């Protein structure tokens, strides 16, 4: 036990100090570092009887009736050495701790939390606060005063005091009442505090149930202390038992008030009856049990649908909304997920909510039902769902077979299995549908282009044939010469187009030869990313700045939205690492999407967002490699996409010119072929 700070001027002689400390511990009943006034007076009587000394200021009614002789060889009193009987044999008339006495006079002081007021002693000088008791410094000052007035030597005083402490400890070991007293005091304080808290809670709105629960807990703790008190304390000290009895009556009254609440649900009423069964009699509980049975009686409930039909189902207030939904769905011949229920109080969305909690207590409530659109995934059986998952490579057949076996054995419910993998299956099916739609759109666009080319070819052929026929109106010899000159002119124009295309191709290849090796290297780096590389990157609890920068650049290229977080200056900043980490861990096709990225359509706004990261020197593959291999490959890919954008910006005009030249070349080629064909026909027709 930690002592209060002691001044050197108040401490007793060094010979007896340690013994007096132990004596102080024996009389510190509460364990608070203070000795109660009645116990202090008893201590003074015993010490003066042992070592002698003046009366001090302790009063005249508490002195020992005779000199006490401890077993130190200085007394011839009979009795066992070291026994408390020596005190009696010596004629001591003192009150000992624990409410016991060895002599007949004076009467023992009652050991209670209050101070004894049995003498005319002046206690005003003992301590400043009588509610606290005597402090350690005051206790030692009085012992020092008595020790100095004694005629015994320091060694003799110490021996006698050691004997007294030993006898008192022997008595405490045989009774254990100091520990029980201290625990009783702590339990009483805790119980009083709980009662006050419960009283304040009971006055609040909807606080009666919490008040009862708090009092029940406090009573349970008090019962343990009562049992110990009955075994160790005298009847006059059993204050906690009386307080617990009064609180038990009060608790029974609160249970009656709580059970009388008409707004209680059957579940709450059942719990309240069970909790009050140990406090209320069977006669008091009978009306509440009857009320509970009436609340649980089944009733018929009418449900109207928008189609105009009504269905009647039999339910009880203790059933859940989900059970009601299943019954209505069975009557309508649909799956339960399609049935949406509502009443005048609102929609019934929580399947786990009890009907009584939702306000459905009798058949007078009118319900409405709406059928939602059918969901093919929820309409599928588990076998069909697993077949679909295998088709889209979500699970392998062995895993699906094991899941089906668990469902058949009852180890796994269909609802839990659907909730676990259905969202991922939906996403995969939607992605497959989107790819199919894109492919169909691409095929349709290709067919339209082919049809447009075919129409253009027909137009060019018709124009060429018309031009060929128009030159034949000037006579046969002039027409042949004009047709030959026209053919030569078209051939010369064709050769010129070929030369121009070769020049443009060479210029474009000169630009692309710089970036193509970088693109190929970046794409090959993406293919080398393994699962362990992803796990290594995601395992970084505090990723380095280079990793966050790479994640930011990747999200910018993919046009992913950031998450707003607070920065160091308590301002909102864009956090790209959270969405990056989410897509890496959830999307198994993330790397393949990067490899198939549409690099020819990077918007200027995206490039402007990337410019500070690239030109600021924050994206360095060597630095990224020190943190993660995957971060290095992603860094190379980002740099390749960024640099390709500027190369493509220079090559795109060349490409457009090349496309135009190729179109003109194809048209000239078609005209020449058509012209030659018409010439061959004319030669054949000529005799």
Please indicate whether residue 224 or residue 469 has the higher confidence score (pLDDT): 469
Do 64 and 151 reside in the same domain of the chain? yes
- Name the residue with higher pLDDT: 130 or 492: 492
Could you tell me the residue range of the domain that residue 606 belongs to? 508-662
More reliable by pLDDT, 96 or 379: 379
pLDDT for 564-611, tens place per residue?
Answer: 887 666 777 888 888 898 888 887 788 888 888 888 888 889 989 989
pTM over 0.85: no
Q: What is the pLDDT of residues 524-554, one digit of tens each?
A: 888 888 888 888 888 888 888 999 999 999 9
Q: Rounded to whole angstroms, how far apart are CA atoms 218 and 202? A: 15
Tell me, yes or no, whether 526 and 655 share the same domain. yes
Count how many domains the chain has: 5
Residues 354 and 432 in one domain: no
Q: Of the candidates 261, 294, 327, which is a domain's last residue?
A: 294
**What's the whole-number average pLDDT of the chain?**
75
Q: Is residue 166 part of a domain?
A: yes
Rounded CA gap, 437 and 445, in Å? 12
Judgement on whether residues 152 and 58 belong to the same structural domain of the protein: yes
Q: Are 540 and 658 within one domain?
A: yes
Mean pLDDT over 121-132 rounds to 40
The reply to whether 199 and 252 lie within a common domain is yes
CA distance linking residue 483 with residue 491, whole number of Å: 12
The tens digit of pLDDT for each residue in 16-61 reads 777 777 777 777 665 666 776 666 666 666 676 767 654 433 333 2
Secondary element (H or E) of residue 35? strand 34-35
What DSSP element (H or E) covers 25? Answer: helix 17-27
pLDDT digit string, tens, across residues 613-631: 888 888 888 888 888 889 9
- The residues with which 339 forms a beta bridge, in sequence order, are 371
Statement to judge: residues 197 and 275 lie in one domain? yes
pLDDT of residue 444: 92
Are 28 and 163 members of one domain?
A: yes
pLDDT at site 210: 72
In a domain, 351, yes or no: yes
The mean-pLDDT minimum among 118-122, 266-270, 313-317 falls in 118-122
Listed residue (293, 209, 289, 218) closest to 255, CA to CA = 209
Question: Does residue 354 share a domain with residue 206?
Answer: no
Mean pLDDT (whole number) for 114-122? 32
pLDDT in tens, 296-335: 888 888 888 876 678 888 888 888 888 888 888 888 888 8
Strand ranges, E, within 209-357: 299-305, 310-315, 339-343, 346-348
Which two three-digit tokens encode residue 466?
């018309």
Question: Using CA atoms, how far apart are residues 471 and 481, in angstroms rounded to an integer?
Answer: 9
Same domain? For 523 and 656 the reply is yes
Name every residue whose Cβ is closer than 8 Å to that of residue 167 and which is 6 or more positions away in sequence.
82, 83, 84, 87
pLDDT score of 121 more than 80: no
Residue 115 CB neighbour total at 10 angstroms: 17
The tens digit of pLDDT for each residue in 451-497 reads: 988 898 898 888 888 888 887 766 667 778 888 888 888 888 888 98
Query: 175, 198, 233 — which closes off a domain?
Result: 175
Q: What angle do CA 53, 59, 61 make, to 5 degrees?
A: 100
> 3-state class of 471 per DSSP?
helix
Q: Residue 359 sits in a domain of what CATH number?
A: 3.10.20.90
Residue 496 within any structural domain of the chain: no
Give the end of a domain, one of 294, 329, 349.
Answer: 294
Tokens representing 20? 């007096």
| DSSP 8-state class, residue 492 | H
Mean pLDDT computed over 267-281: 81
pLDDT tier, 447 (very low <50, low <70, confident <90, very high otherwise) = very high
> 527 and 628 in one domain?
yes
How far apart are alpha carbons 332 and 326 in whole angstroms? 10
How far apart (Å, rounded) are the C-alpha atoms in residues 260 and 643?
A: 79
- pLDDT confidence band for 9 (50 / 70 / 90): very low
Residue 502 is assigned to a structural domain of this protein: no
Please tell me which residue, 207 or 382, carries the higher pLDDT value.
Answer: 382
139 near 40, Cβ under 8 Å? Answer: yes
Whether 35 and 25 have beta carbons less than 8 Å apart is answered as no
Whether residue 7 is contained in a domain is answered as no
Q: What share of the chain is helix, strand, coil (3-state, %, to 5)?
A: 65, 5, 30
Q: Are 328 and 340 in contact (CB under 8 A)?
A: no
- Assess if residue 500 is contained within a domain: no
Residue 497: inside a domain: no
- Confidence bin at 353 (pLDDT 50/70/90): confident
Q: Answer whether residue 474 is part of any domain.
A: no
Judge if 111 and 240 occupy the same domain.
Answer: no
| C-alpha 459: how far from chain center | 71
């Amino acid at each position: 036990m930690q002592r209060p700070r002691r001044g050197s001027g108040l401490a007793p002689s060094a010979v007896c100090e340690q013994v007096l400390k132990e004596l102080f511990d024996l009389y510190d009943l509460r364990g608070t570092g203070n000795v109660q006034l009645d116990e202090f007076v008893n201590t003074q009587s015993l010490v003066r009887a042992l070592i002698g000394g003046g009366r001090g200021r302790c009063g005249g009614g508490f002195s020992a009736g005779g000199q006490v002789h401890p077993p130190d060889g200085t007394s011839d009193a009979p009795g066992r050495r070291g026994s408390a009987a020596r005190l009696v044999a010596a004629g001591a008339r003192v009150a000992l701790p624990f409410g016991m006495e060895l002599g007949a006079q004076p009467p023992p002081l009652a050991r209670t939390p209050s101070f004894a007021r049995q003498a005319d002693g002046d206690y005003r000088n003992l301590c400043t606060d009588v509610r606290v008791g005597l402090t350690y410094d005051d206790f030692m000052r009085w012992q020092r005063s008595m020790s100095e007035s004694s005629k015994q030597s320091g060694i003799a005083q110490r021996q006698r005091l050691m004997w007294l402490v030993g006898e008192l400890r022997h008595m405490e070991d045989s009774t254990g009442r100091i520990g029980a007293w201290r625990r009783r005091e702590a339990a009483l304080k805790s119980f009083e505090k709980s009662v006050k808290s419960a009283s304040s809670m009971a006055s609040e709105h909807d606080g009666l149930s919490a008040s009862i629960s708090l009092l029940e807990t406090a009573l349970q703790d008090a019962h343990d202390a009562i049992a110990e008190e009955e075994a160790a304390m005298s009847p006059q000290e059993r204050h906690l038992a009386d307080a617990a009895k009064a609180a038990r009556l009060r608790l029974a009254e609160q249970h009656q008030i709580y059970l009388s609440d008409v707004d209680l649900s059957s579940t709450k009423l059942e719990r309240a009856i069970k909790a009050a069964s140990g406090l209320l009699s069977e006669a008091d509980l009978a009306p509440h049990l009857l009320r509970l049975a009436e609340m649980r009686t089944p009733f018929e409930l009418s449900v109207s649908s928008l189609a105009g039909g009504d269905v009647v189902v039999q339910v009880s207030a203790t059933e859940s909304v989900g059970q009601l939904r299943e019954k209505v769905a069975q009557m309508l011949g649909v799956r339960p997920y399609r049935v949406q229920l509502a009443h005048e109080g609102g929609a019934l969305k929580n399947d786990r909510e009890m009907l009584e909690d939702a306000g459905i207590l009798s058949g007078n409530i009118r319900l409405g039902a709406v059928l939602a659109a059918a969901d093919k995934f929820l309409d599928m059986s588990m076998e069909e769902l697993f077949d679909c998952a295998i088709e889209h490579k979500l699970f392998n057949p062995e895993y699906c077979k094991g899941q089906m076996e668990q469902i058949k054995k009852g180890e796994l419910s269909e609802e839990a299995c659907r909730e676990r993998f259905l969202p991922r299956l939906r996403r995969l099916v939607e992605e497959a549908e989107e790819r199919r739609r894109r492919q169909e759109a691409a095929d349709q666009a290709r067919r339209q282009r082919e049809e447009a080319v075919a129409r253009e070819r027909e137009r060019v052929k018709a124009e060429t044939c018309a031009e060929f026929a128009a030159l034949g109106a000037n006579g046969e010899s002039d027409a042949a010469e004009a047709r030959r000159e026209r053919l030569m002119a078209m051939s010369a124009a064709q050769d010129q187009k070929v030369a121009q295309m070769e020049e443009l191709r060479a210029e474009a290849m000169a630009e692309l030869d710089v970036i193509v090796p970088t693109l190929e290297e970046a794409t090959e780096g993406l293919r080398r990313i393994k699962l362990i590389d992803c796990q290594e990157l995601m395992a970084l609890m505090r990723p380095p700045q280079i990793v966050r920068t790479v994640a930011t650049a990747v999200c910018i290229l993919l046009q992913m939205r950031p998450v707003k977080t607070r920065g160091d200056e308590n301002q909102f900043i864009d956090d790209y690492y959270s969405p990056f980490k989410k897509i890496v861990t959830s999307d198994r096709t993330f790397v393949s999407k990067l490899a198939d990225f549409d690099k020819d359509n990077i918007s200027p706004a995206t490039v402007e967002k990337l410019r500070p990261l690239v030109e600021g020197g924050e994206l360095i593959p060597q630095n990224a490699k020190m943190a993660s291999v995957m971060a290095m490959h992603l860094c190379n890919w980002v740099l390749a996409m960024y640099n390709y954008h500027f190369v493509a910006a220079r090559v795109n005009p060349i490409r457009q010119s090349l496309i135009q030249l190729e179109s003109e070349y194809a048209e000239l080629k078609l005209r020449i072929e058509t012209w030659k064909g018409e010439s061959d026909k004319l030669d054949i027709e000529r005799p």
